[in-house]
Structure 1
């Protein structure tokens, strides 16, 4: 029993050590497309960068999944990254979209995810458009404000007339 426990513990430690040894190669980020900010609302500008194309490498970006089309990533002085920008169209629907960049030299392709939401974590976004509720116009001058004013006036006249009749009845004048 003790020997089986040692064997399992040794195997588990070997797997963990192998995983830790491989982690730095993946964590460098040389093969990914970084998207900033990673969560936006429609109409916001997004910046993407990658180290995958080398120090002087340019790339062509594709944000067609979100409806923004293609854009260029140019070499920059910032740690050898290729950097580009695009604007999320105001017609973009909420969801997660894949953004792709292809290096000009070698054709290497890297991807990153962009989340389009109705509001950002830091603040709220006001809704756009109208709401069809079946209720008439508003008191702020919209269509139907004349009808609203006439209805309020009719209610006021009815309330005043009812009060006058109750007052006469209480005094004994009759109707």
Structure 2
């Protein structure tokens, strides 16, 4: 019992020490950039903010991973955060992109993720396309021979069923 307690205490102490050692040092890259909305369509407007640069700190944002280039994050009255905006290029491909902001004071960089998803333009409807994957096969094709063969098979089955029901009703048996 005492040996198990020591093993568990030692493991917890080692995990805590590893957590302290893994904490980013000043000047490193941390995740602390909030991206709104976190999922945007190509052509959409995105806002980013961070409190990591200090009360009156500013930053330079980098959205080149999605093709947006650089943008400025300026100090704001909103909880001492630096806020900036950029537009997702209409040519952006669906996926998840890392947005980076570097504080003007010091070497601190903060990151956040932006997911680009395809969506229709405002007021535009999207027509469904493609097929449903049910595992049962495809829909009728345009081949007239296959269509005629299918209709013939259904006609034979209907005639046979009618004939069997007629014999049963007369009492002739099956």
Q: TM-score range by the shorter chain?
A: 0.5 to 0.7
Structure number with greater CO (CA < 8 Å, separation at least 6) is: 2
In structure 1, C-alpha distance between the alignment counterparts of 2:107 and 2:10, rounded to whole Å? 40
Give the aligned partner of residue 50 of structure 1: 50
Q: Mind listing any 5+ residue stretches in structure 1 that lack a counterpart?
A: 132-175
Q: Which residue of 1 aligns with 2:99?
A: 99
Which residue number in structure 1 is paired with residue 6 of structure 2? 7
Residue pairs, 1:1-175, within 5 angstroms: 2-14=1-13, 32-119=32-119, 126-127=125-126
Deviation string 1:84-131 (CA, Å, 9 cap, x unpaired) is 0111112110111111112222242221111111259xxxx8559xx9
Secondary structure of the corresponding residue to residue 106 of structure 1: coil
Q: TM-score normalised to the size of structure 1? A: 0.56
Report the TM-score, using the length of structure 2 for normalisation.
Answer: 0.57
- Farther-moved stretch of structure 1 (107-116 vs 74-83): 107-116
Aligned residues: 118
Aligned partner of 2:171 in structure 1 is none
1:58 & 1:82 partners in 2: Cα distance?
6
